[in-house]
C-alpha cells in the first residue's frame, strides 16, 4: 500500500536512528592531528629561539627560513588528519537534516590548513617576510570556520544520546573561539593594534587553550563509539 505524504516527526525519528560504522583510525586521526601539530611546532620553537619569538609571531612564521619546510609538512599532515576526523565525526553521530554541515565545515578547516602549507610564508634575501594571498586565505578559513563548525556540531549533538553530554561544552568552545576571532581581527591583525605584538600568544590561547582540547575531546568520544560498535559487531558474530 502506497503511503502519501508523511509525518515529519516520524521521518525525523527515522533519520535519528541512523548511525554509520566508524573505523577507529578516523577517531585516532582526530586525536593525532592537534598532538602532532603542536609537538612539531614546539620542537621548532625550541631550536629557533634566536630567530623566532613565540609570543610575538604566529605559528605560520615558522615557514620562513631554511627549515620552513618542516612547518609546511606540519600544516599538510594536520589538514589531512582533520579531514579524516571530519569523515569519522559525521559517521559517528546520529543523522539529522542538514547535520552534514558541521562535519563538512570541520573538513573545510582541514582544507584551510592544507592551503596554508601549499602557500607558505617566505622570507626574502633582505629578511622581509612575504605572506602569499593563498596562505592568508587558508589561515582565515581555518580560524573563522572552526568556531562555526563546533557550534553546528553542538546542535547535532543535542539530538544524539551518545553526544548530548558534550553539546554544551562544544557550543561554549565555539562561542569562545568567535570572541577570540573578533579580538584577533580587531586588535591583533592591524599593524597598530594594541595586541599586534602579542599575536603568537593570542594564537596559542586560541588553538592550545580552546580549539585543540575540544577537538581531542570529540575524537576521544568518537573512539569510544567506534570501540562500542566493534564490540557489538563481535557479539553478533558469536
- From first to last of the 238 residues of the chain, give the pLDDT tens digit: 333 444 444 444 444 446 788 999 999 999 999 999 999 999 999 999 888 999 999 999 999 988 899 999 999 999 999 999 999 999 999 988 889 999 999 999 999 999 999 999 988 766 678 899 999 999 999 999 999 999 999 999 999 999 999 999 999 999 999 999 999 999 999 999 999 999 999 999 999 999 999 999 999 999 999 998 888 875 443 2
Quick one: 8 exposed, middle or buried, by C-beta within 10 A (0-12, 13-18, 19+)?
Answer: exposed
With a threshold of 0.85, does the pTM exceed it?
yes
* 207: nearest Cα among 75, 28, 84: 75
Helix crossing, 164-183 with 133-157: angle to 10°? 150
Q: Residue 122's beta-bridge partner residues?
A: 130
- Count CA atoms closer than 13 A to 176's CA, side-chain side: 18
Quick one: 15 exposed, middle or buried, by C-beta within 10 A (0-12, 13-18, 19+)?
Answer: middle
Amino acid at each position: 500500500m502506497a503511503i502519501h505524504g508523511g509525518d515529519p516527526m516520524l521521518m525525523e525519528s527515522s533519520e535519528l536512528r541512523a548511525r554509520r560504522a566508524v573505523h577507529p583510525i578516523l577517531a585516532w586521526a582526530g586525536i593525532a592531528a592537534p598532538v602532532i601539530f603542536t609537538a612539531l611546532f614546539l620542537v621548532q620553537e625550541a631550536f629557533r629561539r634566536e630567530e623566532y619569538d613565540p609570543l610575538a609571531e604566529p605559528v605560520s612564521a615558522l615557514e620562513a627560513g631554511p627549515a620552513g619546510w618542516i612547518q609546511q609538512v606540519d600544516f599538510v599532515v594536520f589538514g589531512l588528519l582533520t579531514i579524516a576526523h571530519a569523515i569519522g565525526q559525521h559517521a559517528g553521530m546520529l543523522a539529522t537534516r542538514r547535520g552534514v554541515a558541521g562535519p563538512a565545515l570541520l573538513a573545510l578547516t582541514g582544507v584551510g590548513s592544507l592551503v596554508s602549507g601549499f602557500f607558505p610564508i617566505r622570507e626574502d634575501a633582505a629578511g622581509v617576510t612575504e605572506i602569499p594571498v593563498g596562505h592568508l586565505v587558508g589561515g582565515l578559513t581555518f580560524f573563522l570556520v572552526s568556531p562555526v563548525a563546533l557550534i553546528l556540531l553542538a546542535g547535532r549533538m543535542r539530538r544524539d544520546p551518545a553526544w548530548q553530554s558534550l553539546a554544551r561544552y562544544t557550543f561554549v568552545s565555539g562561542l569562545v573561539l568567535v570572541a577570540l576571532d573578533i579580538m584577533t581581527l580587531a586588535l591583533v591583525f592591524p599593524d597598530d593594534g594594541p595586541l599586534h605584538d602579542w599575536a603568537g600568544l593570542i594564537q596559542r590561547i586560541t588553538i592550545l587553550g580552546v580549539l585543540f582540547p575540544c577537538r581531542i575531546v570529540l575524537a576521544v568520544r568518537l573512539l569510544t563509539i567506534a570501540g562500542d560498535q566493534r564490540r557489538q559487531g563481535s557479539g553478533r558474530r558469536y
